[in-house]
C-alpha cells in the first residue's frame, strides 16, 4: 500500500462504496417497519439478505450489488483510458449487463436499464439517456470524483461525460456532481464539512445547466431542509424518521443526494456511523449507504474502516481494493 495521505483517502472512498453497498443490501427497498420486522436490532454489521428479498434473495453477508460492480466498472474505464470516456463506459455497462443477465432481471436501476436497451437497439450514447433522473449514475460516480480531485470545472466536465449514456439530464448530472465534488474535496484533504457541502451545492447549481433539461424537486432546497432536520434537538430515531418521511430515501436523485449530504454532516464524516444510519433508515439502502460510504470514506480515509470489514468484503467479493487505489492514484499523480 502506498504511504500517502491522498492514496489512503482514495482507498477509503472505494472501500466505503463496497462497505455501504454490502451493509445496505439486506434492507434495500424496505420501509423502516419492514426492516424492524426482519432485523429487530439496529444493524451494525454485514447481514445476509432475508429469504424472499425482492432484489437480493440468496445473497450472503458482505456481498455487494450492482452499486459496487458499476463503480469498479467506471474505475476500470478510467484506468484503461486515463480519462472519463462516455463511449467506453457505455460499452462496459452493456457487456457487464449481458454477463449478469441484467436485461432479464430487476438487478439494474430503471434509468440505466432503459438506456442500455436503447443502445443495444442502435441509438447513440447521445440519444440513449435523455430522461435518466434516478440515482444510478450517482451510485457509480466515486471514481469520477476521485479523478476530479475537487476541481469544480474538471469535476463537472467529467461527471457530464460519465452520465451521458444513461443519465443525461440536468438533475442527474447536478446530483452526481454534488457527490463527486464532495469526494474530490475529501481525498484532497478538506476537513471543513460545511465547506465541502457548500462546494457540493455549487456543483449542483452549475450542473443544472448541463444535459437535457428535466423536471424534479430542487436538490439544493431539499438539502437545506435535510440539514435543518438533522440540526433539531431530537433523538437519532426521530431525526432518521423525519429524513425518511420528509426528504425521502428512494431512487429519485432529488431524494438520494440531499439525504446523503445530510447524513455526511450528521455522522461528522464517520463512514461507519453514516452507513449504519442509511442502512437502518429504509428505502434504497444499498445505494444511499454506498454513496455516504464513498463520501465519508474519502473524507476519513481507509483507517476509519475495521480491518475485519475490509477482509470480509475482499473475501466474499474477490475485490482487490488496493489495485484500484494504486492505479487511480498513479493517474492523478501523472495528469
| Residue the block writes with cell 437545506 | 224
Q: Kindly list the distances between the CA atom of residue 323 and the CA atoms of 11, 17, 76, in Å, as whole numbers in the listed order.
A: 9, 15, 10
Burial class (CB in 10 A: 0-12, 13-18, 19+), 54: exposed
Q: What is the pTM of this model?
A: 0.97
pLDDT for position 106? 65
| Mean pLDDT, the chain, integer | 95
pLDDT for position 164? 97
pLDDT tens digit sequence for 303-329: 999 999 999 999 999 999 999 999 999
Sketch the domain layout of the chain as residue ranges: 5-333
Whether the Cβ atoms of residue 248 and residue 255 lie closer than 8 Å to each other: yes
Pick the CATH number of 5-333 from 1.10.4080.10, 3.40.50.10470, 3.40.30.10, 3.40.47.10: 1.10.4080.10
CA terminus-to-terminus distance, the chain: 21
Task: Say how far apart CA 63 and CA 171 lie, in whole Å.
Answer: 30
Whether the Cβ atoms of residue 38 and residue 50 lie closer than 8 Å to each other: yes
Amino acid at each position: 500500500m502506498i504511504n500517502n495521505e491522498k492514496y489512503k483517502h482514495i482507498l477509503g472512498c472505494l472501500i466505503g462504496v463496497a462497505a455501504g453497498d454490502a451493509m445496505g443490501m439486506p434492507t434495500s427497498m424496505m420501509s423502516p417497519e419492514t426492516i424492524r420486522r426482519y432485523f429487530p436490532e439496529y444493524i451494525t454489521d454485514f447481514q445476509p439478505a432475508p429469504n424472499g428479498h425482492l432484489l437480493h434473495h440468496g445473497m450472503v453477508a458482505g456481498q455487494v450489488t450492482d452499486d459496487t460492480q458499476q463503480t469498479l466498472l467506471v474505475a476500470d474505464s478510467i484506468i484503461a483510458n486515463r480519462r472519463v470516456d462516455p463511449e467506453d463506459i457505455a460499452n462496459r455497462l452493456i457487456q457487464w449487463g449481458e454477463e449478469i443477465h441484467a436485461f432479464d432481471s430487476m438487478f439494474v436501476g430503471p434509468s440505466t436499464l432503459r438506456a442500455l436497451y436503447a443502445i443495444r437497439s442502435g441509438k447513440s450514447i447521445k440519444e440513449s439517456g435523455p430522461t435518466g433522473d434516478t440515482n444510478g449514475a450517482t451510485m457509480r460516480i466515486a471514481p469520477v470524483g476521485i479523478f476530479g480531485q475537487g476541481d469544480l470545472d474538471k469535476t463537472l466536465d467529467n461527471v457530464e461525460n460519465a452520465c451521458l449514456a444513461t443519465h443525461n439530464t440536468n438533475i442527474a448530472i447536478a446530483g452526481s456532481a454534488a457527490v463527486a465534488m464532495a469526494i474530490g474535496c475529501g481525498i484532497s484533504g478538506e476537513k471543513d464539512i460545511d465547506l465541502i457541502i457548500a462546494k457540493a451545492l455549487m456543483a449542483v447549481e452549475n450542473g443544472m445547466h448541463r444535459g437535457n433539461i428535466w423536471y424534479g424537486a430542487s436538490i439544493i432546497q431539499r438539502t437545506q431542509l435535510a440539514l435543518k432536520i438533522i440540526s433539531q434537538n431530537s433523538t437519532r430515531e426521530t431525526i432518521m424518521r423525519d429524513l425518511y418521511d420528509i426528504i425521502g430515501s428512494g431512487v429519485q436523485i432529488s431524494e438520494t443526494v440531499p439525504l446523503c449530504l445530510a447524513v455526511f454532516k450528521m455522522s461528522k464524516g464517520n463512514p461507519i456511523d453514516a452507513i449504519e444510519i442509511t442502512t437502518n433508515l429504509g428505502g434504497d439502502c444499498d445505494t444511499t449507504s454506498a454513496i455516504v460510504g464513498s463520501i465519508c470514506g474519502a473524507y476519513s480515509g481507509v483507517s476509519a474502516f475495521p480491518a475485519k470489514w475490509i477482509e470480509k468484503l475482499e473475501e466474499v467479493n474477490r475485490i482487490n481494493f488496493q489495485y484500484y487505489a494504486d492505479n487511480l492514484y498513479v493517474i492523478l499523480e501523472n495528469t
